[in-house]
Structure 1
Amino acid sequence: MISMAANLTVLLTGSLCLYLVIVLIKILHKYWWTPLRIQRAMNLQGIKGPRYRFIHGNNKENSKMRKEALSKPMATLSHDILPRVNAHVYARVNLYGKNYLSWGGNIALLHITQPELVKEVLKNSVRIFPKRTSKERERSHDNIIDKILGNGLVTSEGEKWAKQRKLANFAFHGESLKNMTPAMIASVETMLKRWKQFEGKEIEVFQEFKLLTSEVISRTAFGSSYLEGKKIFDLLMRLCFLVDRKVSQTKIPVISEFWKTAEGIEADKLAKGIHNSVMEMVKKREEKVFSGEANSFGTDFLGLLLNAFHDPDKNNRLSEQDLVDECKTFYFAGHETANSALAWIVLLLAIHPDWQEKARKEVFEVCGNQKPQYEGIGKLRIVE
C-alpha cells in the first residue's frame, strides 16, 4: 500500500510538473517568442518602434507619457493638439517615422499616419483589413469596448452591416433631418435661456453642450425625455471611463482567465443597466402601439429599429441584442462627435474673433431675426 501511494504521489507530481512546464512554454510563446518574432519581421521591412517589454508591452510608457502631457496646460491655443491628446504617438512619430510599431500588452499595433496608406486601409475594397470579431476583441482586451458599442454599425460587417447601414441612412435622410429641425431649435433655445442667468460669468460650454446634444438625440432619434436619455448617457460615460483606465492595464497570464477584475465586474453591471434602460424605452413605445394609443412605432430612429425588430420575415428581423446595440451606438457615437465638434468650434471662434464676426453677419443675412429654417441652414457657407 505504501509503495502504491508513493507511486501515485510521484505520478501526480510528475503530471503537475508537466502541466506547469506546458503552461510556461505557452506563456513564453505568447508573451515572448511571438512578439519578438513579429518585431524582427517588421524591423526587416523598415518598420521600427519602441522595444517590446515582457507582458505589458508599452502600456506603462504610454500611460506615463499621457499623464505628463495632461498634467500641464497647453502653452498656446492652436490646432497643434497631438502632443497633448496623444503624446506617445507624437513622440514616436518624431522618433521612428510616420509609420511605426508599438505594443498594447502582447498585441502588435501598427500605427499609420501617411494619408495615402490611411486611405488604402479605410477604402479596403477587397476586404484585406476586416474588422475584428468579438472574440478577437476580447483576446486583445477590447471586450469593455464591446459593452459600449456591442455588435452595432461600427463593429459589424457584411450583410449585417448593410442592413444596419440601411436603417441609419433612412434616419439621416434629408426629409428626416428636416423634421428634426424644430426639436433641435427648441433644445438650443432652452439652453440659451438657461445661459441668461450666467450673463457676465464664465460658462463651461463643453458640459453645456453635453446636455444639449444628449437632449437633442433623446428627442429626435428616440422620442424620449431628456431624463431617459441622460440615464443611458451617464452609464455609457462611466463605461468609457473604465475603457480609459483599462487601456494602460495588462492582463496577467493564466490568472486573468479565471479572475475577473473590479473593472470587469463594474463593466458588466453598467452594460446590464444600459440594456435594461433601452428596453424600458422600447417597451413604452410598444405599449402605445399595442394599446391602440399610436398606430405605428414612429418614423424616428427608434421607430425604424422597432419595425425591424417586429419584422415578420425572420431573415430581416433584428434580435433584442441587435436592437440594444444599435441604440447604444447611436447614443454614444452621436453624442460624443456632436459634443466635441460644438465645443471645438466655439473654442476656434473665440480664438479667431474675425471669423466669429463673419459667421454672425452671415446668419443675420440669411435668417434675419427669425428662427433658422432647414432650407436656410444649407445656405450658410461660412458657418458650414
Structure 2
Amino acid sequence: MAKIGAKRFWVWFVLAAGLAATALALGGAVAASTVDPAFEALVTRLAADGLPEAKVRRLFSRAEMAFSPKAMSDKLTALYMRKYGLKLVADIQTRLIALGWHPGPADGKLDRMTRWSIKAYQAAEGLPQLGTATETLLAELSASPKPAPADLTFPQFPKAEVHDIVLTPERLAEAREFYERNRAALARARERFGVPEEYMVALLAVETRVGRYLGDEVAVVNLASLVAGEDLSRLPRAFAYEKPAPDRLAWIKAKATEKGKWAYGELRALLRYADAQGIDPLSIPGSIYGAIGICQFMPSNALKYAVDGNGDGKADLFEPDDAVASLGNILRAMGWREPMSEEAMRKVFYGYNHSQVYVNTIMDAARRLRDASGSGTTKP
C-alpha cells in the first residue's frame, strides 16, 4: 500500500478504536449486532432504494456506526449565525464590551475580532485560549469580570486575500516534496487531461496539505448522522440556549431537511463508491461533511470523476496516482482547456470551491511552485 493509503488505514484504526472505546465506556449502549435507533429508518430507506439490505444492516450494526449530533448541529448553527446571529455569542460580546475586551458590536457573529477578544480575556485569566463561544465562557465572564487594561489596543483585520497558512515556507515545502515525488503521475495526468502539474499540486496543498491531513471524521458516520439529524429532536443541545422564535425554528427545520436530503444522496454515493473500490466504508476518513480523499471529492463526484491513474484497475482517491488523475478529470469536466486565460482558470477553481480567497491561494501557490520547479509548464 502506498504511503497515503497506509495513512488512511491508521486514521481509520485510531478513529475506530476511539469509537469502540466510547461504546464500551457507555456500557455498550449500542451493541455490535444492533443498529443505532437513530439509523433504523435510514437502513430501511437505503434498502428501499436498492442497496442490499443485509449488507447495509451489517454495516450499520457495527459498533463504529453510532449517531453523532455534531455534524448537523455545527452546520445549522453556522447557517443560523450567518443569517441571524447567535444569542450566546451576542451575550458574550456584550459582557466583553462592558469589560473593555471587545470594541463591538454585539451582533452575535463569531468573527475574527470576537475570537481575538475572547482569547485576550482568556489569556488574562490564565485560561486555555480557545477563542470559542460557550456557555462556560459566559459563566466565567460573569464569575470573574476582569476588566481589560486601559491601554488595550484592538488589532485591525483586513479582509483576507489568500489563505496565508498555505503559503508558509513549511507548507510550500510539503507541496514541492509531493510535486517531486509524484512527477510521473502528475505528468500523466497533464497529458491525459491538460491540467498543468503546479495547479493540481496547489489545489491539493490547499485541500489536504497534499494528503497529510485527510480529515478526523469517519465519512460514512458523519453523512449518516447528517441524514438522521434532519430530525431536530436528535439535536437537543443545538439551540437550547438560543430558544428561537417560531419563524426562526421553521427556518431551522427547513434547513435541516435541505441538508439531510443532500447528505442522503452523498451517503448513497459513498456506499456505492466504497463497494466499487472494494473498500470498507468505515475505513474512509473525511471532512465533517463527508469530503474524501487527497483531493476532497464529495462522494457523488467520486462516482462521476474518480479514475484509475496507475493501471491497477482501481480509482482510489487516497492514492496519489489516482487522486491527481481524478483531479485532472474533474477540472477538465469543469471547463479546463489549454491554452486558457488566468480569468478562465479562476472560473474553474471557483466552481470547485465558491471562494475567491480559495482561488487566489491556488493561483499564488501554483506560481510559487512553478517558479521553484523551473518547469515553465505555463506562462506566468
TM-score (ref. length: structure 1): 0.24
Higher relative contact order (CA 8 A, sep 6+): 2
Q: Relative to total residues, which structure has the larger helix share, 1 or 2?
A: 1
Larger Rg: 1
